[in-house]
């Protein structure tokens, strides 16, 4: 009996841990099906990484409920998977299929063979002009060497420093990174900065105050996790690139999260952040539901004329079929009457004979 209770509690705890990621799992499913990164929201991912990463740091210095810590880990994992899919399905990072690579190789080999045949023909035709071509090549090489020398003379002495600064600018603009590895490097750099600031606060204000400030900031940032989706739905009126399950998961997840915070007696900053997030998500759910109903009603209105026309066409077709059947029956009856008259005439002639 105790084993059964333990299993039930483990399943319940697992559901609580995974519950905040249900909407993101649905987004992962949609991205895999469509193979497009349109559903990826970089602002939401960055907020998740910052808030949940600081929650992990908060847990190290001030342990709280293990279930909430598990939620932070699951959200970090979901954000990582979404980011990987974004770079895989984006145009810059989409890997070529094996079939495409084979086609490219085959086409290149065919082009090379054709080009070699053309070169052999041109070699026999243009052998007399070989010396002139060599002279032109030498002139071109001399001009290119002069250009290289001029360019090397015009290079400023701080070009190396400028290139290094451009590299740092590239990695500090996370949204501009081209690969997931570069994205990971950017996140690592910001993580080092965040940890350094936290240690400075510990030195200046003491560890307890710094940990409380860290928890407050992490939960305030977490309360804005749904704000990019809020902007997309409420302000931009875009519900086509938003997972329906994600929107409602924000709302019901906030209620469940606040309930778990209160039961597990987590710090007040966690409850405060959850209440702020619930207010934002309530407005988003109301607007999303309203727009969804309007869209479905509009689709029904657009489809109703087509249905009416189709029904009228079917009625006309049935009417035409009925009239055609009536005419066919009349023709058959006339044919039968004429056949009977002919038979009677033939019988009369036979009787007279």
Q: Which residue has the higher pLDDT, 42 or 13?
A: 42
Q: Is 243 exposed, middle or buried (0-12, 13-18, 19+ CB in 10 A)?
A: buried
**For 122-128, what is the mean pLDDT?**
51
Percent of the residues in the chain that have a pLDDT greater than 90, as a whole number: 13
Q: Which residue has the higher pLDDT, 2 or 303?
A: 2
**Residue 122 falls within a domain, yes or no?**
no
Q: What pTM value is reported for the model?
A: 0.60
Question: CA angle 233-80-49, nearest 5°?
Answer: 70
**For 49-67, what is the mean pLDDT?**
87
The DSSP code sequence of 233-273 is IIIS---TTS-HHHHHHHHHHHHHHHHHHHHTT--HHHHHH
What local confidence, expressed as pLDDT, does residue 325 receive? 57
**For 21-50, what is the mean pLDDT?**
89
Question: CA angle 316-319-322, nearest 5°?
Answer: 150
**Residue 303 falls within a domain, yes or no?**
no
Question: CA angle 72-77-83, nearest 5°?
Answer: 125
Which residues, at least 6 apart from 27, have a Cβ–Cβ distance to it below 8 Å?
A: 39, 40, 82, 243, 246
Banded model confidence at residue 76, pLDDT cuts 50, 70, 90: very high
**Residue 82 falls within a domain, yes or no?**
yes
What local confidence, expressed as pLDDT, does residue 103 receive? 46
**Residue 325 falls within a domain, yes or no?**
no
Summarize pLDDT for 289-305 with one digit per residue, the tens. 988 888 888 877 776 55
What local confidence, expressed as pLDDT, does residue 353 receive? 55
CA 226 to chain centroid: 16
Percent of the residues in the chain that have a pLDDT greater than 70, as a whole number: 65
**Residue 276 falls within a domain, yes or no?**
yes
Summarize pLDDT for 209-220 with one digit per residue, the tens. 888 888 888 888
Asked if 25 and 78 count as a contact pair (C-beta separation under 8 A), the reply is: yes
Summarize pLDDT for 142-176 with one digit per residue, the tens. 554 554 455 445 545 555 555 556 777 787 888 88
Summarize pLDDT for 263-293 with one digit per residue, the tens. 877 777 778 878 888 888 899 999 999 888 8
**Residue 350 falls within a domain, yes or no?**
no
**Residue 338 falls within a domain, yes or no?**
no
Query: Residue 273 CB: number of other CB atoms within 10 A?
Result: 27
- Average predicted confidence (pLDDT) for the chain: 75
253 vs 13: CA distance, rounded Å: 14
Banded model confidence at residue 77, pLDDT cuts 50, 70, 90: very high
What local confidence, expressed as pLDDT, does residue 162 receive? 58
Summarize pLDDT for 218-251 with one digit per residue, the tens. 888 887 888 888 888 888 888 888 888 888 888 8
What local confidence, expressed as pLDDT, does residue 83 receive? 93
**For 172-191, what is the mean pLDDT?**
88
Q: Which residue has the higher pLDDT, 46 or 9?
A: 46
**Residue 47 falls within a domain, yes or no?**
yes
Question: CA angle 299-303-307, nearest 5°?
Answer: 160
Asked if pLDDT for residue 317 goes beyond 60, the answer is: no
What local confidence, expressed as pLDDT, does residue 28 receive? 92
Boundaries of domain holding 190: 2-94+167-281
What local confidence, expressed as pLDDT, does residue 85 receive? 92
What local confidence, expressed as pLDDT, does residue 195 receive? 92
Domain count, the chain: 1
**Nearest to 337, CA basis, from 244, 329, 242:** 329
């Amino acid at each position: 009996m105790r084993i059964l209770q333990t299993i039930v509690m483990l399943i319940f705890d697992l559901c609580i841990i995974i519950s905040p990621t249900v909407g993101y799992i649905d987004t992962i499913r949609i991205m895999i099906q469509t193979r497009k990164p349109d559903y990826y929201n970089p602002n939401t991912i960055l907020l998740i990484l910052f808030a949940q990463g600081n929650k992990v740091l908060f847990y190290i210095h001030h342990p709280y409920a293990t279930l909430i810590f598990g939620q932070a880990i699951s959200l970090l994992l979901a954000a990582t998977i979404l980011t990987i899919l974004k770079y895989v399905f984006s145009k810059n990072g989409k890997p070529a299929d094996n079939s495409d690579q084979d086609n490219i190789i085959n086409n290149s080999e065919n082009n090379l063979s054709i080009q070699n045949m053309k070169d052999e023909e041109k070699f026999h035709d243009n052998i007399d002009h070989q010396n002139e071509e060599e002279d032109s090549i030498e002139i071109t090489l001399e001009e290119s060497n002069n250009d290289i020398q001029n360019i090397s003379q015009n290079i400023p002495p701080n070009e190396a420093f400028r290139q290094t600064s451009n590299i740092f600018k590239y990695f500090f603009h996370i949204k501009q990174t081209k690969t997931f590895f570069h994205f990971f490097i950017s996140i690592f750099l910001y993580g080092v900065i965040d940890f350094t600031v936290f240690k400075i606060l510990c030195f200046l204000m003491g560890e307890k105050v710094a940990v409380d400030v860290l928890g407050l900031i992490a939960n305030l940032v977490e309360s804005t996790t749904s704000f990019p989706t809020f902007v997309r739905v409420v302000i931009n009126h875009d519900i086509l690139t938003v997972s329906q399950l994600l929107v409602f998961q924000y709302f019901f997840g906030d209620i469940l999260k606040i309930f778990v915070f209160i039961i597990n007696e987590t710090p007040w900053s966690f409850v405060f952040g959850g209440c702020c997030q619930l207010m934002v998500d309530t407005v988003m759910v109301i607007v999303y539901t309203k727009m969804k109903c309007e869209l479905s009603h509009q689709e029904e209105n657009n489809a109703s004329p087509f249905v009416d026309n189709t029904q009228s066409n079917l009625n006309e077709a049935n009417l035409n079929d009925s009239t055609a059947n009536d005419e066919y029956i009349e023709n058959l009856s006339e044919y039968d009457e004429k056949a009977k008259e002919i038979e009677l005439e033939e019988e009369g002639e036979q009787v007279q004979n």
